[in-house]
Amino acid sequence: MTWQVEDYLEIKDGNLNIDGVDAVKLAHEHGSPLFVFSERRIRHNIDRLKQVGNVIGCPLKLCYAAKAMSTLGILRAVRDAACDIEVNSGGELWKALQAGFTGPQIIFNGTSKEVWEIELAIENDIYAIQVDSPFELSLIEETTVSLGKTANVSLRLVPEIKSDTHSGLQTALLTSKFGMMPDEAYAAVRKHADSRYINICGVHLHVGSQNPDPSVYTAAFETLFASLLRIFRETGQQLGHINLGGGFPVRYLTDDQGELDAKQAAMLAASFEPTDAIAPAWRSVQQAARNANAEELLDGLTLLLEPGRSIIADAGICLTTVRNVKSRPTASGGVDQWLLTDAGFNILLSMETYKWYYHLISAERTAEDHDVPYKVAGPLCDGGDVYFDIEGENRLPEYRLLSGSVSVGEVLALLNCGAYSLAQASQYNARFLPPVVLIKKDGTPSLIRRRDTFEDLISSDL
């Protein structure tokens, strides 16, 4: 066996089951590719993150990062688990409202907000607009004045904090596009100290996604506390929250994949409890507060977290069917067996952009040894639509191990692919966006997104 059975994934009669529901039957009923999510797992992950508040004894506001997966049925499951939400566009904000979130449950990030998006946020009295630049703050101010309402804002900072994640997922480097410099933040607080329209209520920082090293959270927390302290000393303003962002890693890689690039492997195999990152960070900040004789700054402080991946990634699998097989001679005189599936980078974009690893198993011969190597590829017209590293840099394994004699029609499962998959999907090659089944907390499967139809392929075309 080359994968770890999670409590919600098990093998029954040889087939993969998710929360007791046969994955192969689901694939036959709904067709593939098919995403299947476990509501129980979503709730488990949310409870796990909420432990952070209990462990450090500081009020915690947990906001699910909707960008990771925002099908309404998932957003509703997150809301029902008493979790708030982070959005990154007016569209996600609107979807959050459709899913039943109220303004005070919503925080809003983004580098390029437009006036209509800011208006939607202000009209709904959201908890905080996370301001990306002094320019954006002036745009928000103009909008508040014209609406005659106050906006709650949190200042997104960009100190230099390096994470060992993929370069495309780093967000706290001075070379990254996000946030404002600390000095710009202090100037903003001074400028708006007595404003009727701008209520600066917190500071924010997101180090990046899939951070392999828990110590980045200490660096982030210390940095934000230092900002809070300086703001307090310089302006007398005591801000109400610190938002440490998201980025907790999910273990995608569970076993040795031989020649894999070491940095990539370490990132994809990373895993730690959020409490193990935040508890030491909190202790360090408590010490800093004591040293500065400013413990009162921690009284009444709320800690915000906005994780996406660690809530939804391992709650979702993608079922795919083998649609074609072929053999190819190799340069070394051997023969490669190729499997062509119906799940390509149109629905698993990270596999192409970041060479993301999703563990592949047979869903209908799950208990059999997976020891036969195959080259695996998706259905798209690009040579890069493959499950290995087409650039030859070993960021993905060259072969996937499955049972012997895989043939057309066999249902396979890609594990841990609930995050940044359907959310980034496209109809490239006019392929239908896939359906989604949520296994509800009572164990019943519910279709929460139907497969696209021919009509969906042209519904926006004029």
Ligand X SMILES: Cc1ncc(COP(=O)(O)O)c(C=O)c1O
Q: Does 65 bind ligand X (CB under 6 A)?
A: yes
Rg over alpha carbons for the chain, rounded to the nearest Å, is 23
Q: How many CB atoms lie within 10 A of CB 345?
A: 23
77 vs 85: CA distance, rounded Å: 12
Q: Does 375 bind ligand X (CB under 6 A)?
A: no
**Minimum gap (Å) between residue 192 Cβ and ligand X:** 22
**Minimum gap (Å) between residue 178 Cβ and ligand X:** 7
Of 41, 43, 241, 309, the residue at the interface with ligand X (CB under 6 A) is: 309
**Minimum gap (Å) between residue 256 Cβ and ligand X:** 25
Indicate the residue among 109 and 275 with the shorter CB distance to ligand X: 109
**Minimum gap (Å) between residue 156 Cβ and ligand X:** 8
Which of the following is catalytic: 63, 318, 381, 417? 381
The count of residues in the chain is 462
413 vs 359: CA distance, rounded Å: 8
Residue carrying the six token digits 């974009």: 349
342 vs 352: CA distance, rounded Å: 15
Identify residue 368 by its one-letter amino acid code.
Answer: E
Q: Does 33 bind ligand X (CB under 6 A)?
A: no
Six-digit token pair at 111? Answer: 């580098």
Q: Does 92 bind ligand X (CB under 6 A)?
A: no
What distances in angstroms separate CA 410 from CA 10, 324, 365, 372, 376, one per listed residue? 18, 10, 9, 15, 13
Q: Does 241 bind ligand X (CB under 6 A)?
A: no
16 vs 14: CA distance, rounded Å: 7
Q: Does 307 bind ligand X (CB under 6 A)?
A: yes
Of 27, 52, 68, 402, the residue at the interface with ligand X (CB under 6 A) is: 68
Of 73, 245, 378, 418, the residue at the interface with ligand X (CB under 6 A) is: 245
Q: Does 206 bind ligand X (CB under 6 A)?
A: yes
Six-digit token pair at 233? Answer: 């000393």
Q: Determine the residue with CB nearest ligand X.
A: 246
409 vs 264: CA distance, rounded Å: 32
Indicate the residue among 177 and 328 with the shorter CB distance to ligand X: 177
Site for ligand X in 207-236 (CB under 6 A): 209-210
Bridging pattern class, strands 436-439 and 445-449: antiparallel
Residue 381 falls in the annotated catalytic set = yes
- Which sequence positions are flagged as catalytic? 381
Binding interface with ligand X (CB under 6 A): 65, 67-68, 86, 109, 171, 206, 209-210, 245-248, 306-310
